[in-house]
Structure 1
Amino acid sequence: MLKMMNVSQVSYFTLSAYFDIGLFRYVVFIFLMCVYIFIISSNVLLIAVIFVNRSLHKPMYMFLCSLFVNELYGSTSLFPFLLVQILSDVHTVSVPLCFLQIFFLYMYVNVEFYNLAVMSYDRYLAICHPLHYNTQMSLNKVVRLTALLWGLSVVVIVLMITFNVSSELCGTTIDRVFCANYYVVKLSCNSATVSNIYGLVYTFSVLFSLAALIFYTYFKILQVCFSGSKETRQKAVSTCTPHLVSLLNFSFGSFFAVLQSRFEMTRVPNVIRIILSLYFITCQPLLNPLLYGLKLSKIQIICKTLFYSQK
């Protein structure tokens, strides 16, 4: 018979997805450390470039700056924890730290999706309504939208965690290499009806609405591209390609994470499951600096100028 425990009575969770890889752990540790250093340095560099150069104080680059800050935030909430766990022989995490990591990671996911949705709306205005762009997307509006997407994410995640803190648990083992809300909900002795209803309402009311906004904006952008001049198509391709690739990469990563959590994948090798679960939080902050740093000509020119001027 399963023992029922209140969350306040549990001192730690066990992360069962880790497996013994012997001395190979040091190779994985060095690899992840190098990835983390690259993510930090590249995102900090691009934030500094946007912040220092007044020519980049425009809506698109302000949203990019918010995106890069979120990449720093999300990767820092995961990588140090992973590095410690890789070198550790006991894979446990205290309950407060587990919920703190859930807050950070889900905050990252929400801000990333909100930010990409707002960026698609910004590109829609710039390409489909260029004459009214400066009035409809002023810097004050950029600040309000950025504050809204970060503030709304905080409220959403705090409410989600609140529903789980008071629940009764029938286990303390999380089949993951980091803490995830769905796996904590699975440990609940009851059906977690409130948490599930909240998740469904939020998904259909907010996430599907933002997804519809993204599809609408790109539908309109494609209409303009097919009916517009060659110059208009070139502008759309140069500014929308990085955003579209980033959006698709994040969507696929999130899909892999949802697929793994909702369906039984015991036949899939453990190492593949770990890679799929980490994809959305590792590849996105790794890819975005490369995408925007190499594809957006203004950032590329300024970065080249900074490096060559130091020689």
Structure 2
Amino acid sequence: MLNFNITFIFSAYGPSGPLNYGVFFVTFITYLATVFANLMLMLVIYTDSNLHRPMYIFLFNLAINGVIGGSAVLPNIMKNLLDDAKMISYSNCLLQVFFINFYAICAYAILTVMAYDRYVSICKPLQYHNIMTPTKVRLLLGIVYIFPFCFLAVQIYITSKLPTCGYKINKLFCDNLAVVSLSCVKSAFGDLFGLAGVVVFAVLPLLLVSLSYVKILLVSLKSSANAKKKALKTCVPHLITFINFSLATLFSVIYNRLNNDLSKELNVFMSVHFILVPPLLHPLIYGIKTKTISKSLLKLLNKRVFTF
């Protein structure tokens, strides 16, 4: 039975002072910008019927995921930066773990299906509409959301069954490794289950995206200069986004393993980078690098804003 009376204390914040206030200001501004940018991207895709295509449907879901990622933890971080008591209940900590991991896994999964969409578009252009049917798109999105949800539900259940002996978390928010490290016992099954999750939801997507781009590169090398230019334009936003998220994930892994050995300032930066930077950059990258979205955005602004 889950012990709702347990409370964890975050020790990474330190006492209230200029650093906490500065981090609060940056976090607050970035969070507002993240929500605005992602909602604007969603609105552009939703209102423009020309964007109701697989690539933009996946991008719409990536924007939803960005809002989920930022909202999962940033409001709580801002609250703790201002409060004297930096605490969280056990149940809320597990809930935070679930949504942070859900954001990370789903983001990687969406970027993977977007790579597959680019592969079909460039390598099999004549068969694209027969392959990327509405049913296929719904199936891929179902896999993107259902598999991570089920996996994380089991992982949280396993973690919740571990007896807790410690109550201090040297981080700005909860993650599964931090909660597990506070348990009185080690769970071999939990470790194995977590390792399987890393392989399925991190290593496998990386391999699939790499394979997609290898095939795209091979096809592009045999194409005309105009075809190469077109392929580059459609792939660059996704490639930048994927690399950006992969680097953020790598930083997060390093932070999880080394946070006790890092300085307070570096600890703060490494922890918030994973949930601050990618959700904000993703809509900006696509908004700047994708002409179709840029034109649709300008059209929407002219129609809704500048007409008043």
What TM-score does the superposition give when structure 1 sets the normalisation length? 0.94
Summarize the Cα distance change of 1:25–1:278 in structure 2 as closer, same or farther, 3 Å threshold.
closer
Deviations 1:210-261 (A, max 9, x none): 2211111010111122221112211221111111111111111111111222
Unaligned runs of 5+ in 2: none
1:289 corresponds in structure 2 to 283
Q: Does 1:257 align with 2:244?
A: no
1:278 corresponds in structure 2 to 272
Q: Does 1:168 align with 2:158?
A: no
What TM-score does the superposition give when structure 2 sets the normalisation length? 0.95
Task: For residue 264 of structure 1, report the CA deviation from its aligned partner.
Answer: 6.4
2-side partners of 1:25 and 1:175: how far apart?
Answer: 15
Task: For residue 277 of structure 1, report the CA deviation from its aligned partner.
Answer: 1.9
Q: Secondary structure at the match of 1:8?
A: coil
2-side partners of 1:73 and 1:201: how far apart?
Answer: 24
Task: For residue 20 of structure 1, report the CA deviation from its aligned partner.
Answer: 2.4
Q: For the aligned residues, what is the CA RMSD?
A: 1.6
2-side partners of 1:53 and 1:111: how far apart?
Answer: 25
Task: For residue 193 of structure 1, report the CA deviation from its aligned partner.
Answer: 1.1
2-side partners of 1:301 and 1:90: how far apart?
Answer: 48
Q: Secondary structure at the match of 1:169?
A: coil
Q: Does 1:131 align with 2:97?
A: no
1:214 corresponds in structure 2 to 209
Q: Is the 8 A contact 2:119 2:212 kept in 1?
A: yes
Task: For residue 150 of structure 1, report the CA deviation from its aligned partner.
Answer: 0.7
Q: Is the 8 A contact 1:7 1:167 kept in 2?
A: no
Q: Secondary structure at the match of 1:13?
A: strand
Task: For residue 10 of structure 1, report the CA deviation from its aligned partner.
Answer: 4.7
Q: Is the 8 A contact 2:244 2:278 kept in 1?
A: yes
1:26-175 superposed matches below 5 A: 26-175=21-170
1-side partners of 2:102 and 2:192: how far apart?
Answer: 19
Q: Is the 8 A contact 1:7 1:169 kept in 2?
A: no
Task: For residue 109 of structure 1, report the CA deviation from its aligned partner.
Answer: 0.5
Deviations 1:186-220 (A, max 9, x none): 11111221110101122234432222111110101
Summarize the Cα distance change of 1:208–1:26 in structure 2 as closer, same or farther, 3 Å threshold.
closer
1:3 corresponds in structure 2 to none
Task: Please identify, of 292-301 and 9-18, the stretch whose mean Cα deviation from structure 2 is larger.
Answer: 9-18
Task: For residue 304 of structure 1, report the CA deviation from its aligned partner.
Answer: 1.2
1:306 corresponds in structure 2 to 300
Deviations 1:55-80 (A, max 9, x none): 10000000000000000111011111
Summarize the Cα distance change of 1:236–1:55 in structure 2 as closer, same or farther, 3 Å threshold.
same
Unaligned runs of 5+ in 1: 1-5
2:226 corresponds in structure 1 to 231
Q: Is the 8 A contact 2:171 2:259 kept in 1?
A: no
Task: Please identify, of 296-305 and 21-30, the stretch whose mean Cα deviation from structure 2 is larger.
Answer: 21-30
Task: For residue 31 of structure 1, report the CA deviation from its aligned partner.
Answer: 2.4
